[in-house]
């Protein structure tokens, strides 16, 4: 949005949409912040990151770690579609392949 008002004529079956930028003010646009809890409740809370991360002991093996690094370098190169934006997909594929680098490749 560059500030210019360009009128777009809608086609058959389309409706006119106003895309003029505006600031939304009012209670329905505000975030709801929860009440502050007692600091002692922190001791019973479990950290969420421990529930989603499970270390892979085999990565201590230097050869396997090097193969994973090579897979990530390949996926971040122009050799594969995506132009070097595939590191997250490579890690996902490696997970789906249960750590088998050749299957993930």
Say how far apart CA 31 and CA 68 lie, in whole Å: 42
User: Tell me, what's the pLDDT at 31?
Assistant: 84
Tell me what the mean pLDDT of segment 75-83 comes to: 75
Share of the chain above pLDDT 90, in %: 0
For the chain, give every domain's residue range: 59-97
pLDDT at 49: 65
**What would the pLDDT profile of 21-70 be if each residue is shown by its tens digit?**
778 888 888 888 888 878 887 778 777 766 555 666 776 788 888 888 88
Residue 76 gets which letter from DSSP? T
Q: 101 and 58 in contact (C-beta within 8 Å)?
A: no
Instruction: Return the pLDDT at 1.
Output: 46
91/6: higher pLDDT: 91
């Amino acid at each position: 949005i560059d500030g210019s008002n360009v009128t777009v004529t809608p086609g058959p079956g389309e409706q006119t949409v106003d895309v003029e930028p505006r600031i939304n003010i009012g209670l329905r646009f505000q975030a709801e912040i929860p009440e502050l809890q007692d600091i002692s409740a922190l001791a019973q809370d479990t950290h969420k990151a421990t529930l989603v991360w499970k270390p892979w002991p085999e990565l201590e093996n230097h050869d396997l770690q090097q193969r994973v690094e090579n897979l990530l370098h390949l996926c971040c190169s122009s050799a594969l579609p995506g132009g070097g934006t595939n590191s997250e997909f490579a890690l996902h594929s490696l997970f789906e392949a249960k750590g088998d680098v050749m299957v993930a490749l």
